[in-house]
Chains A and B, each alone.
Chain A
Amino acid sequence: MDRRKFVAGLGALAGGSALATGTGAFSSVEAGRNLSVSVADDSNAYLGIEALDDEYIDATDGTLDIALTEANATDEGGEGINANAVTGISDLFKITNQGSQNVDVFAQPLTFIQADIDSGVESIAVFLTPQDPDYNFLFDVIPIEPTTIPGSIAYKNVDPGNELRFGLTAFAAPDTATGTVEINNSISITAEPNAEENP
């Protein structure tokens, strides 16, 4: 895989690329629909949601929450992503169709951004990253109701038993981003019977 030499001048990442033109995070889930779900046990609910790496996942309250934080440090003491850097974590969690029907699975939002409004310099962007499932899916990055939910990943026609793996790609710039910006948000994962398969 051709690995592009990606830093040209002095700390291209340090150049203080402010990420969002908007004011603060815009990717919050529509408040009205923010139903919090506590499924008895994520792993054997119909929509199985399981950590693949428990060090980046905080599963203490029975639900699987992604926490790249000081409070959820890795065994080796890692407390968060580096500033002025891109961090990729794959095999973070997986979603398994543990129901009896083919379903369409949606995960949104995909992009989480926070920019320090006053300095307009520090910023963090986190991209929910789908991983290449080993079977044939129509996998859409589509907007849902463009005005409210800014886009989602849609997996069509997921057979019972099949699973979808997710990772994260995070970018924080510049070097003063430490402790200035962070993401505290939520991902909404939805599954519905596939219309064609379940007339």
Chain B
Amino acid sequence: MSDAPTVNDYEEAAEKELDIKQEDRDAINTTLEQVFNGGSNE
């Protein structure tokens, strides 16, 4: 099963550390996964 990009992947790609708290990273990663899966097919 493919895996969605995470905030960390974007940081690596951008070679920048983003000052985002862990709970917010979790929230963003959850949404990244939903978007990656086209929304409904979680």
**A touches B (Cβ under 8 A):** yes
CB-CB contacts below 8 Å: B3-38 with A: 4-5, 7, 9-21, 23-24, 26-28, 30-38
- Contact A141 B12, CB 8 Å, known A17-B24, A19-B19, A171-B28: yes
Residues of B within 8 A of A (CB-CB), count: 33
Option from B2, B9, B19 in Cβ contact (under 8 Å) with A20: B19
Q: Secondary structure at chain B's binding surface: helix, strand, loop or mixed?
A: helix
A109 to B13, CA, bound (A): 9
A186 to B12, CA, bound (A): 20
Option from B17, B31, B36, B39 in Cβ contact (under 8 Å) with A87: B31
Which A-chain residue is minimally distant from B17 (CB atoms)? Answer: A21
* Closest chain A CB from B28 CB (angstroms): 5
Residues in A whose Cβ lies below 8 Å from that of B31: 86-88, 169
Q: A15 within 8 Å of B by Cβ?
A: yes
Chain B residues within CB distance 8 Å of chain A: 2, 4-5, 7, 9-21, 23-24, 26-28, 30-39, 42
Chain A residues within CB distance 8 Å of chain B: 1, 3-4, 6-8, 12-13, 15, 17-22, 26-27, 86-91, 109-111, 113, 125, 127, 129-132, 141-143, 146, 150-152, 165, 167-169, 171, 173
